[in-house]
A and B are shown apart, each in its own frame.
Chain A
Amino acid sequence: MPTTALAAYSEVTASEASLRRFLHGLPGVDQVGAEARAAGLGTRSIKTTAKAWALDLAIRMVDLTTLEGQDTPGKVRALASKALRPDPADPSCPSVAAVCVYGDLVGEVKAIVGSEVNVAAVATAFPSGRASMPVKLADTRDAVANGADEIDMVIDRGAFLAGHYLQVFEEIVATREACVRPDGSHAHLKVIFETGELQTYDNVRRASWLAMLAGADFIKTSTGKVQPAATLPVTLVMLEAVRDFREATGVQIGVKPAGGIRTAKDAIKYLVMVNEVAGDDWLDPDWFRFGASTLLNDLLMQRTKMTTGRYSGPDYFTLD
C-alpha cells in the first residue's frame, strides 16, 4: 500500500516533534461553518426512486452491532441471521455489510454468515482502550485468529489528549501488524477515535490524519458507549480528511460513523453528506459504513413502506 506519495510522509512520522508539528499545522476547523454546512446538507429532500436506492444502499452499509456485556451466543446467532436476511419476507432486501461483536463471539457469527457477510470484532480493550500494549495486541490477534474479517480498534484517548501523538501512532501501526493473518492477508483495520472525548473538531481532524498515516483502512467516530456519539459535523470533518488524504497520497480510506444513528432519515442525511463532501466514490459499503443496531429496523420499515404503500410497525421486525 505505501505509495511514493505516502512515503513522502515518512518524515512526518519519524519523531514526536515532527508529527506534532504536522498535526498542529493542519488548518483549523471552522466550527460554526462545519455545523452550518452539515445542517444545510441535512435539509436535502430525497424522494421516491432516489430514496429507495438510498435505503438499499444504507442497509448494505450497516455494520449490525451488538456490544453488550449481556450478549449471549444465542442472541449473536440471531443477529447474524438477521444480517444475512434483514427482511425474510422480501428476498430482494440486501444483506448488511458486517456484523460487529466482541472478539470472543466471532466464531458464533462466522458459523451463521460464512463469507456472505463480514464479521467485525472490537479489540484493543474496547471501549476504553485502557490496557497495556501487549494486552491490546493479544486481544487483536485473538479476534483475527477467531476469523474476524475486520478489527475495530480504539485509540488511547488519554495519550492523544496528552499530546503523545507518536505513541498513538505506534499503537495503530502495531495493531495493524497484529491484524496480519498467517497467509499474509490482513483483517481490515477500523480506528475508533471516540470523538465525544476528543473535545474539538481540530482534534478530530488531527486524529483522522494520524490514523490514516498509521495505516488505518477505516476511520470510525465512536464506540457507541459515550455521548455524544456520531454527529453530522464530526463525520463531515472526517469525510474532508479522507478526501484530502486521497488527494495528497492517492490512498482511499473509509469512514464509519457509529452510535446515535437511529432513523432512516438520519442515515440518508449522512449519505447526502458523503456524496457532497467526499464524493460518490465513497457511496459504497467498502468505503462507508454505519455502526448501528436500531437503525436497521427503521430502514426496513421505510423500505416496506415504499414497497407496500402503507406504514409498517416495529411488531413486524425482529428486535435483534
Chain B
Amino acid sequence: MAASRIDVRKTYKLYIGGAFPRSESGHSYEVTDSKGRFVANAALASRKDVRDAVVAARKAFGPWSARTAYNRGQILYRIAEVMEDRRPQFEEAVRQSEGASAAAARAQVDAAVDRLVWYAGWADKLAQVIGNANPVAGPFFNHTAPEPTGVVGVLAPQSSSLLGLVSVVAPVIVTGNVAVVVSSYARPLPAVTFAEVLATSDVPGGVVNILTGDAAVLGPWLASHMDVNAIDLCGVAGSPDLATSLEVAAADNLTRVRRAPDAEPDWSAEPGLAPMTAFVEQKTVWHPIGI
C-alpha cells in the first residue's frame, strides 16, 4: 500500500555564529539539480547577513586563535569524522548539484574528507615549516612565527561544490583564522550540509559562517568591510572584471587578497602550503640573550 506521500520541500537557512537563521531579507531562491529540476529552497543572503556574519566571526576570532594548534587540528579531524558519518547525504548532494555519477560523487566526498584530515595534520606543523629561528649578528634570539590574519571572507568555488568548498575553508581556519563563506550560488546544498556538520563537530560558533547567495552581490560588501582582514576571491574565478573591482574595494581598507585564479583549479591535486600561508602574518621577535 504505497500511499502517495506529500513531499517535504526543504527551505534551508544560513549558518551564522553557530545558529541557523533565515536571511535578514527574508528572501530565498530555488535550487535546481544539474537538469533544472527543483531540489530545495536555499536562503538568499543579503548584505545584512554579511554584516551579522562578520560580527559573529569577529567575536569567535579571539578564542579560536587562542586555542592550541594541536586542539584546532583535533577539531578539523572531528569535522572529517562527522562528514564520514554523513557520506550518503553528501554524495546525494554532490550528485544532484553537479550532475556527477554516483562513483564520481563518492570520489569527491572521499577527497573532501581526506583533504580535511590532511589539513588537520598541518595544524601543529605549519609553524615549524614556515617559521624560523633566524641567525642574527648580535646578542639576540630572533625567531619568526606565523599568526592568523583574522576574519577572512571566502568566496567559495562555483563549480566544485564540496571538495572546492572544503579546500578553501580548511586552510583558513586551521591556522586560527575565522571565515565568512559565500557558497556556490547554483550549487549550495553541499555547503548547507557542511554547515550542519560544522554545527555538530566541536567547531565553536562563529568560526565558520556559511552564507548561501550570490558572490557578485555579497562580494563587494565583504571586500569593502572595514572589519574583514582578508578575502579569498576564488569564487569569482572566470569573472576578471568583478575580481578586479573586488580587489579595488579590498585595497581601500588594506584587506589582504588571495586573487581569483583564471579558472577553477583541479581540486583533486595536493594543495601545497600556499592556501594556508596566504592567511597568516609572520611575526618576528627579537629577544636579548646573555643578559
Contact = CB atoms under 8 A, between A and B. Distances in A.
B58 A311 contact: no
B64 interface: no
A315 B221 CA distance: 17
B258 interface: no
A9 interface: no
A47 interface: no
Interface stretch (B72-80, B110-118, B224-232): B224-232
B54 interface: yes
A316 B51 CA distance: 16
Interface string B215-226: 000000100111
A313 B58 contact: yes
Interface in A293-320: 309-316
Interface residues of A, number: 8
Interface string B46-62: 00001100100010000
A191 to B, nearest CB: 35
Interface residues of B, number: 13
A309 B224 CA distance: 9
A221 to B, nearest CB: 26
A315 B54 CA distance: 13
Interface in B204-246: 221, 224-228
B227 A315 contact: yes
Nearest to B249: A310
Contacts of B228: 313
Contacts of B58: 313-314
Contacts of B227: 311-315
Contact of B221 (A311, A312, A313, A314): A311
Contacts of A311: 50-51, 54, 221, 224-227
Interface string B240-258: 0000000001001100000
Contacts of A312: 226-227
Contacts of A316: 226
B106 to A, nearest CB: 41
Given A313-B54, A314-B58, 17 more contacts: A310-B221, A310-B224, A310-B225, A310-B226, A310-B249, A310-B252, A311-B50, A311-B54, A311-B224, A311-B225, A311-B226, A311-B227, A313-B225, A313-B227, A314-B227, A315-B227, A316-B226
